[in-house]
Chain A
């Protein structure tokens, strides 16, 4: 292939790739929704209906711990204790963080900022934050959504250390996720490869000092900023 034809083919390949990437990056739920809308005109497709669960009890975040707190640890409310092991409905927002876990995400009353890189586990997140555990779906992980959600599942109380280093106090073994506004079930788990919006976690140790193997006095990277031969081998 000569240069001329290459100059034509390359942009075509790049544009095609870009288009595929954009398609891959689209919200899977939105795509599914469009398909549902299209299918609604056909006789075969089931209608999208709000989820109803008469067996669950609505639990609010402020009903999990007794407020205000005493001088030491928190106490679960009578209602929360009574619902432990039972089916509950919980309405709130996903916490947006970098953790890609195949099953777990955090759920809070409000749309919280969580500056994970800066704060780590010293944070402003509420103790009532719920760790939600979804059934594992191969090669997928819960993907952050901005809208308010209502989750249905079994409530579990008690401190438990997680592999992330965090200690969870309230967990929900969730089997149904719905849009809180419409009650329509949603699929939160998306292929990890398609979760383009994820920030890349940064390790706590950001690495080594720059240095050079070029001997002085001909080159000194500390003094000659135009150098391009830095090799981080001496620290």
Chain B
């Protein structure tokens, strides 16, 4: 290249850079609520974000400023009208990398219809960035029918259609082509099919899988009560008002949360807490008291997870799980000033030595550490806290074995917490407390270990917990019979493990135990050879044994490696790769990596059954967020 041409090239490049600078401009890279209009320039339905009339939610935008510049003002406009924030309920925050997050907290809109949301952000050099999205305010029809005074969500975590079928085969039996009896959930008159995708994946985890029922909106995996943002702070995400808060504020209802999991776990927390980290244990449990008791009328909280409620200094005994914010995971919470102002919530604090049990008691809660504690209730209690295990509660398979014969399963915490209630017993007490409110209640009851033991591919334990879950459903159906203005919704958050019933054993249990490892695959009877496995139910309502002759055989499509014997495991929560290594044969899984220890969630649709006031709407195939609006139609507008 000649020198003169090189000079021209350099000049051209310099010119291009100059041109680039001239066109540099701030850009809006995120706009909340999420919308297809902003992300895909698609203004057509389905609208990603929908809200009830007057349901509160945050407006948020992330703006990428030019290098060295700042964002000096941000205006959000809904249908062309600027939104005015309440005093202190807005902020523009530098979040690094010349990015800024702008928020208006606690916005609401009472007029039904699709709204266009525009954000205009002005940079320090007066350049303006804009972004356009939309959201919908749902229409609630005022029907002549009665309203649902009480709403009960029963969530069998991970419970797909096959989990239900398996529970029915074991607990009710089938013969001559028909089920001998229905499950309690089968008796609910309306059934629908629910799609479960989360905001960022076709496969949801339990946080957005429950958040959708509590808020009517989508969330990213791992997040609950919030939309995603671009900050690392777990507690500053754009919030959406939960059903509990909305119904407490507008109708004076009470909220109950009952689970067999750690109460900090995703499903229970998604009904009352707002965080981008489902694992933020200490802060989540603090929020139950600081925010949910205050603003959601939370009156019942039961499950495991006592470790989060004990002070770290050991003053109430050892076993605390409380942490402060010095770790990478930063478990405790402090919310920014604009959240405090917009949502009328306290700031929170980093308090690893908080005695949260004592604080709940000070707030008027009756505390039950075990079944005896529940049974000692006088009946006059109006607030109930039950913490029955340090982490997740033990499963019904092991709880029942202990009740029957004092058998303590290896690996369980039964010896430490021997008197843990069953889900139906917890449900009973929760209904007693919540039904005291003349304005009604909303309650979430979760059968958590259907999912957890499906992950673990421990067939007997998840089937047993599905039966336990159905007994809780039966309690609610009995309650509804005497309280007809009650809506019962039985569903799941997602399917877990790709479970299906692939047949029945062709041999007796004695023969199965005597079968050589190399021949175990041969006992799987399919089609005609599956026949009708028969289980016997004991007086306590649970199977006398899961190891019957000619037993039901389960397959897993979302599996990791496991060793299969087709028999129950005497030990709880043993890794599928470590369980039965000498007595079972290796079934290789599809999950990547040898470190993967368990089966996974799937994107399969899930069944939903409903009964009671407003249940007729829960039919067809619909999105999980639709279930929220159907329930709220029943609560606000009444049934047809």
Q: Which A residues are within 8 Å of any B CB, using their own CB?
A: 62, 65, 67-76, 93, 96, 98, 109-115, 118-127, 146, 158-159, 161-167, 169, 196-200, 204-212, 215-216, 220-223, 233-235
The dominant DSSP class at the B interface is: loop
CB distance from B445 to the nearest CB of A (A): 18
B residues 439-462 near A (Cβ < 8 Å) are 452, 455-456
**Contacts A209-B34, A233-B29 given: A127-B228 contact, CB under 8 Å?**
no
Say yes or no: A211 contacts B327, CB within 8 Å: no
Q: Are A162 and B593 in contact (CB under 8 A)?
A: no
Q: In the docked arrangement, what's the CA distance between A98 and B305, Å? A: 22
Given the complex of chains A and B, what is the CA–CA distance between A180 and B146 in angstroms?
Answer: 67
| Contact A199:B277 (CB < 8 A) given known A112-B574, A205-B222 | no
Q: B314 to chain A: which residues have CB within 8 Å?
A: 73, 158-159
Contact with A along B407-422 (1 / 0, CB 8 A): 0001101011111000
Indicate if the CB atoms of B369 and A71 lie closer than 8 Å: yes
Are A122's CB and B281's CB within 8 A? yes
Q: Tell me the minimal C-beta distance from A105 to chain B in angstroms.
A: 14
Q: Which residues of B contact A112 (CB under 8 A)?
A: 411, 573-575
Chain B 240-294 interface residues, beta-carbon cutoff 8 Å to A: 261-262, 264-266, 276-279, 281
Are B576 and A113 closer than 8 Å at their CB atoms?
Answer: yes
Indicate which residue in A110, A123, A216, A221 contacts B571 across the interface (CB closer than 8 Å).
A110
Kindly identify, within residues 305 to 330 of chain B, every residue whose CB is under 8 Å from any CB belonging to chain A: 305-307, 310, 312-314, 316-324, 326-330
Question: For residue B579, which residues in chain A have a CB less than 8 angstroms away from its CB?
Answer: 111
Q: A65-B318, A167-B323 are in contact. Are A211 and B39 (CB under 8 A)?
A: yes
Binds A, one of B70-78, B199-207, B339-347, B624-632: B199-207
The residue that A73 contacts in the complex, of B220, B279, B317, B574, with Cβ under 8 A, is: B317
B532 to chain A, nearest CB (A): 32
Which of A112, A119, A215 gathers the greatest number of chain B CB atoms within 10 Å? A119
Complex contact B40–A222 (CB within 8 A): yes
A126 touches B416 (CB 8 A): yes
A127 touches B307 (CB 8 A): yes
Residues of chain B within 8 A (CB-CB) of A62 are: 415
Binds A, one of B115-123, B148-156, B430-438, B595-603: B595-603
Is B42 a contact partner of A222 (Cβ separation < 8 A)?
A: yes
Given A112-B574, A204-B276, A234-B38, are A72 and B327 also a contact pair (CB < 8 Å)?
no
- CB within 8 Å for A197 and B594 given contacts A123-B262, A206-B200, A209-B39: yes
Least CB distance, A146 to chain B, in whole angstroms: 6
Max count, chain B CB within 10 A of own CB: residue among A65, A112, A197: A112
A120 — which chain B residues lie within 8 A by C-beta? 278-279, 281
Is A205 a contact of B228 with CB atoms below 8 Å? yes
Q: Do most interface residues of chain A lie in helix, strand or loop, or is the interface mixed?
A: loop
* Complex contact A208–B228 (CB within 8 A): yes
Are B200 and A208 in contact, CB atoms less than 8 angstroms apart? yes
Report the separation of the CA atoms of residues A169 and B391 in the bound assembly, to the nearest whole angstrom.
Answer: 14
| Distance of B38 from chain A, by nearest CB (Å) | 6
B324 touches A161 (CB 8 A): yes
Does the CB pair A123–B392 fall under 8 Å?
A: yes
Instruction: Give min CB distance, A131 to chain B, whole Å.
Output: 13
Given known A161-B312, A165-B331, A205-B222, contact A73–B265 (CB-CB < 8 A): no
In the complex, which of the residues A122, A125, A162 contacts B264, with contact meaning CB atoms closer than 8 Å? A122
Bound Cα distance from A127 to B266, whole angstroms? 21
Q: Is the CB of B261 within 8 A of A122?
A: yes
Taking the nearest CB of chain B, how far is it from the CB of A119, in angstroms? 8
- Given the known A-B contacts A205-B223, A206-B222, A211-B39, are A118 and B261 also in contact in the complex, defined by CB atoms under 8 Å? no
Please determine whether A206 and B201 come into contact, CB atoms closer than 8 angstroms.
yes
Taking a contact as CB atoms closer than 8 A, the residue among B205, B264, B390, B573 that contacts A127 in the complex is B390
- Residues of chain A with a CB closer than 8 A to B50's CB: none
Query: Whole-angstrom distance from the CB of B497 to the nearest CB of chain A?
Result: 11
Among the interface residues A110, A146, A166, A207, which one has the most CB atoms of the partner chain B within 10 A?
A: A110
Contact B411 A110 (CB under 8 A): yes
Q: Assess whether B373 is interfacial by the CB under 8 Å rule.
A: yes
Given the known interface contacts A72-B357, A159-B314, the answer about A209 and B42 at a Cβ–Cβ threshold of 8 Å is: no
**Residues of B close to A233: CB separation below 8 A:** 29
In the complex, the chain B residue whose C-beta lies closest to that of A75 is: B317
Q: Does B62 contact A (CB under 8 A)?
A: yes
Chain A residues near B312: list those with CB within 8 A.
159, 161, 167
* A165 engages B323 (CB within 8 Å): yes
4 more CB-based (< 8 A) A-B contacts, given A165-B323, A207-B200: A98-B595, A161-B323, A165-B327, A235-B228
Chain A neighbourhood of B578, CB < 8 A: 93, 111, 146
A-B pairs with the 8 shortest C-beta distances? A73-B317, A199-B595, A120-B279, A165-B329, A111-B578, A71-B369, A235-B30, A122-B262
**Which one, A68, A163, A212, contacts B415 given CB within 8 A?**
A68
Given A161-B312, A199-B595, the answer on whether A220 and B574 have CB atoms closer than 8 Å is no
Would you call B584 an interface residue if the criterion is a C-beta within 8 Å of the partner chain's C-beta atoms?
no
Determine if B221 is an interface residue (Cβ-Cβ < 8 Å): yes
Contacts of B31 in A (CB 8 A): 235
- In the complex the two chains form, is B323's CB within 8 Å of A220's CB? no
